[in-house]
Homo-oligomer: A and B are copies of this chain.
């Protein structure tokens, strides 16, 4: 049974100029006036399913149990790709079957989760079009789910849902970890795919001080917080999402050092 004031989050590539995000909210509130609507972001790069997947995975656990996450980066809208409802132990996810939930599946792999193919079109907006399933399909399903409609009423479980490939760090020769830059934040910090979790699994006996961070063949000091660094020099930190991040204090590392997505980040172990 869901809370009476359920939270529905939105993650899209709609941008903030068009009324599209507002229209998803309009439809949701028309069905469930008690829903609390929280924007995760509407500025996912256009059609970038990988980026949306990463943003969702880093965000959803901070929301209260029973939160419903609607994610709409959907270049195949209107075509054959299926609408999905993903149920994990604590959260719901609604969006297209194009791999947008891949990073969530990874996070939940050791736990319980279930994927349903949404087919119950009587929950959709009547006279839906083919270009805006955010408004016509995902918003109303999220709203009905938030009102307590049983999840199995939306469709049947499937196991052949789509996944995208997400670059993983690799441990080679037992003492070298090869990762890469996978995203930048608003401050120009370069975020790698190397996680604390990966480090402690790969080398459980090591502490952070055993790791040497190498970027473009040069050592980068691993610090505890940003302002510990000399201004403008390239440094590393484990960020608040548990990821190894390259930064330049009082500067944008991305711009100053011309860092690109896919650039290698290497850890050698002393």
Kindly specify which of A33-41, A106-114, A150-158, A167-175 makes contact with the partner chain: A33-41
What residues of chain B lie closer than 8 Å to A38, measured between beta carbons?
22, 25-26, 29, 37
**Which chain B residue shows the least CB distance to A15?**
B186
Partner of A130, one of B21, B55, B240: B240
Interface presence of A160 (CB below 8 A)? no
- Tallying the copies of this chain within the complex gives 3
A40 to B224, CA, bound (A): 31
Contact with B along A10-44 (1 / 0, CB 8 A): 01011111111111011101100100111111111
For A228, the chain B residues whose CB sits under 8 A away are 79
Q: Are B19 and A55 in contact (CB under 8 A)?
A: yes
The listed residue (B39, B62, B252) touching A27 by CB distance below 8 A is B62
Take A40-B22, A62-B26, A226-B75 as given contacts and tell me if A240 and B128 are in contact as well, using a CB distance cutoff of 8 Å: yes
Q: Are A36 and B41 in contact (CB under 8 A)?
A: no
A13 touches B224 (CB 8 A): no
Q: A239 within 8 Å of B by Cβ?
A: yes
Answer yes or no: A46 CB below 8 A from chain B CBs.
Answer: yes
Q: Knowing A30-B62, A41-B17, A63-B29 are in contact, say whether A79-B226 is a contact too (CB < 8 A).
A: yes
Contacts of A30 in B (CB 8 A): 62-64
Beyond contacts A16-B16, A17-B41, A129-B238: 20 other A-B pairs, Cβ-Cβ < 8 A, are A9-B26, A19-B55, A21-B39, A23-B62, A25-B38, A26-B38, A29-B64, A30-B62, A46-B187, A47-B250, A75-B250, A77-B227, A78-B225, A79-B225, A129-B240, A129-B242, A131-B245, A132-B239, A132-B240, A132-B241
CB<8 Å pairs between A and B, sample of 16: A5-B33, A9-B26, A11-B19, A15-B186, A16-B41, A17-B186, A18-B41, A19-B58, A30-B64, A62-B135, A75-B227, A77-B226, A77-B227, A129-B242, A130-B225, A130-B240
